[in-house]
Amino acid sequence: MSRFWSPFVKQLVPYVPGEQPKLANLVKLNTNENPYGPSPRALAAMQAELGDNLRLYPDPNSERLKQAVAAYYGVTAAQVFVGNGSDEVLAHAFHGLFQHGRPLLFPDISYSFYPVYCGLYGIPFEAIALDEQFQIRVEDYQRVNGGIVFPNPNAPTGCLLALEAIERLLQLNPHSVVLVDEAYIDFGGTSAISLVERYPNLLVTQTLSKSRSLAGLRVGLAVGHPDLIEALERIKNSFNSYPLDRMAIAGAAAAFEDEAYFQQTCQQVIASREAVVSGLQQLGFEVLPSAANFIFARHPQHDAAQLAAGLRERSIIVRHFQQARIAQFLRISIGSAAQNQALLAALGQIV
Ligand SMILES: *Cc1c(COP(=O)(O)O)cnc(C)c1O
């Protein structure tokens, strides 16, 4: 704390990201990164940008990337917003669409950045309890609110909410923005982007960090009605005109254009997930149904914090949340075949 800080800074409670250890040879299954590399076409597109052009500012509107996303989802570029990671896109959405004085609603177990943005932008919120199976009950969101946000599949549970339920939620809340955070949708769900044409209150965010293996590039996007997108553009253009650099625009656009590589790597992650789930079940774990590139599991006879510590002693890191209702769960990212085997072997020793 410093006397130079604005009073506002003193009461902020920042987000704590999953650890990025400097040690080599760790089996790193704690932040849901993709075990496969980015598309070779994306890498080539980024390399082509490495040159004299870097003297020049990038396109402030990232038009090439918006066009690629629009073509991929069959929408117009005016329905697309892009930003420096979907965390930045989410921040702009909170800032631009959720400050109405009424509480923002999100599940009690969900992405822990949401309450942080509420603190940053002075947005009141209510955490709505998931049911006993850790599922979202859309009827519980039928109350006064200034907006609704949830990840789908949910994080850190991995559970998917069906598109019909999302549509019911939109119909129950025609006067609120409903933001569906689809960071993990490509690993087993159907995107709600198909609904934006019919629901002007729907905003869908996605990231290239998970299914497109570009966490290090920092690119995220939102798709929705042009009026919602314009709010995000107004915030962005009042904050930083160039959130995406030249390499990010070129690499992200090329990643969207390399459909074959994307499909192949997603399918590999999904197949590995099913193998990890059955391996864990054989060791006595209970695993929540996952549509993501991670699983959420607990062992009825073993304390989760001790399991995480035992794994760490064996150079494997997973995520453990010291939080009500989920303190006995571990969130484990799906890794390469070798990493997954190392995980199951280590857990086999521990339990
Ligand atoms: C990873 C993640 C994000 C952030 O993604 P970035 O694009 O890397 O900022 C957003 N929401 C959820 C639920 C995530 O898990």
The residue-averaged pLDDT of 211-220 equals 98
pLDDT of residue 334: 98
**Selecting from 3.90.1150.10, 3.30.1330.40, 3.30.420.40, 3.30.70.100, what CATH number does the domain 6-37+260-350 have?**
3.90.1150.10
What's the pLDDT tens digit per position in 121-172? 999 999 999 999 999 999 999 999 999 999 999 999 999 999 999 999 999 9
Minimal-distance CA residue to ligand 1 atom 5: 86
pLDDT of residue 310: 97
Minimal-distance CA residue to ligand 1 atom 15: 183
Least confident of 11-20, 92-101, 242-251: 11-20
Residue 92 has pLDDT above 80, yes or no: yes
Residue 25 has pLDDT above 90, yes or no: no
CA of 155 to the centre of ligand 1 (A): 9
Residue 68, amino acid: A
The residue-averaged pLDDT of 89-96 equals 98
Q: Per-domain residue ranges for the chain?
A: 6-37+260-350, 40-258
Token pair for 26? 């760790």
What's the pLDDT tens digit per position in 27-86? 999 999 999 999 999 999 999 999 999 999 999 999 999 999 999 999 999 999 999 999
- pLDDT category, 8, cuts 50, 70, 90? very high
Q: Using a pLDDT cut of 90, give the percent of the chain over it.
A: 97
The residue-averaged pLDDT of 195-214 equals 98
Averaged confidence pLDDT in the chain:
97
Helix residue spans in 176-325 (DSSP H): 226-236, 246-257, 259-282, 304-313
Q: 83 CB under 6 A from ligand 1? A: no
3 state DSSP class of 73: helix
| Interatomic CA distance for residues 152 and 163, integer angstroms | 10
CA of 86 to the centre of ligand 1 (A): 6
Domain 40-258 falls under CATH 3.40.630.30: no
Q: Which residue pairs from 43-48 have beta carbons closer than 8 angstroms and sit at least 24 positions apart in sequence?
A: 43/251, 44/254, 45/250, 45/251, 45/253, 45/254, 46/217, 46/247, 46/250, 46/251, 46/254, 48/250
Residue 297 has pLDDT above 80, yes or no: yes
